[in-house]
């Protein structure tokens, strides 16, 4: 990879998403063209209903576009089967959700470890990796706690550890600070920024939180499903 001019890991070509509710058609994304390069710390911002989450879901292969093309690391998502998409999500994409979305019956360690276990990583290696990540996100000593024994901020840290455990090409974070107080939000952002700078993890946020936008090095502003502004702040 050329550090000066990294390859785009996400490419959206004329992306369209229309939701159908009976006979009613609700366009959520209307022809978005976008390239996100490796190592970016990008925020997709916009008001509610502007299509931020929809774009993130489509990039993450959680939802299908109505029209247009999506490429992740050069792979056209429409060409993949369901199981291949599942594998792509497991190996190349990390998710951080607004509602944390941890598995309630698993401990912090097990939640962070789950993707590595699915990949068949050896027990010793995954233990080492996960313990290191939990330490990185400030959860040392809390690995045996279940989600209901953790605060919202702590749960989101576990979610971040889970998202980056498998060294994904990109972490898609949907409103990651929406459910935590501002001091926790700052801490979470610092963790993600540190991971971005030190481990070169690519982050793409959907957000309307000013704190996230202040830290982002690129802000893509969506209005009514279209990019109204794309600002790079290097």
Work out whether 122 is an interface residue with another protein (CB under 8 A): no
Residue 117 interacts with another protein (CB under 8 A)?
yes
229 lies in the site for another protein, by CB under 8 A: no
Residues 13, 35, 73, 91: which binds another protein (CB under 8 A)? 91
Contact segment (CB under 8 A) with another protein among 38-46, 85-93, 178-186, 187-195 equals 85-93
* Site stretch for another protein (CB under 8 A), options 113-121, 131-139, 204-212, 223-231: 113-121
Residue 221: count of CB within 10 angstroms of its CB: 18
Cα separation, 150 vs 147, in Å, equals 5
Return the closest-CA partner of residue 162 out of 121, 210, 110, 199: 110
Residue 151 neighbours by CB distance under 10 Å:
11
Q: Which residue lies nearer to another protein by CB, 28 or 227?
A: 28
> Does residue 82 bind another protein (CB under 8 A)?
yes
**Residues, the chain, total?**
234
- Whether residue 49 contacts residue 226, with contact meaning beta carbons closer than 8 Å, is answered with no
Locus of tokens 């801490």: 187
Which positions lie near another protein, rule CB under 8 A? 57, 60, 62-63, 82-83, 86-91, 95, 97, 101-106, 110, 114-115, 117-118, 162
């Amino acid at each position: 990879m050329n550090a000066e001019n990294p390859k785009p890991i996400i490419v959206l070509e004329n992306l369209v998403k229309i939701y159908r509710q009976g006979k009613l058609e609700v366009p959520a994304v209307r022809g978005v063209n976008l390239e996100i390069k490796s190592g970016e710390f990008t925020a997709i911002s916009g008001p509610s209903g502007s299509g931020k989450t929809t774009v993130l879901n489509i990039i993450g292969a959680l939802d299908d576009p109505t029209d247009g093309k999506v490429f992740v690391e050069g792979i056209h998502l429409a060409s993949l089967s369901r199981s291949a998409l599942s594998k792509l999500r497991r190996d190349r994409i990390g998710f951080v959700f607004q509602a944390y979305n941890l598995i309630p019956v698993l401990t912090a360690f097990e939640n962070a470890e789950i993707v590595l276990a699915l990949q068949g990583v050896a027990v010793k290696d995954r233990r080492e990796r996960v313990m290191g990540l939990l330490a990185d996100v400030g959860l040392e000593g809390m690995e045996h706690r279940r989600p209901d024994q953790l605060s919202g901020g702590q749960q989101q840290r576990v979610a971040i550890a889970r998202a980056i455990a498998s060294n994904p090409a990109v972490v898609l974070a949907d409103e990651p600070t929406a459910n935590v107080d501002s001091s926790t939000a700052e801490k979470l952002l610092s963790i993600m920024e540190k991971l971005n700078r030190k481990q070169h993890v690519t982050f793409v946020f959907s957000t309307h939180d000013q704190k996230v936008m202040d830290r982002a090095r690129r802000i893509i502003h969506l209005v009514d499903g279209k990019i109204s502004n794309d600002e790079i702040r290097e």
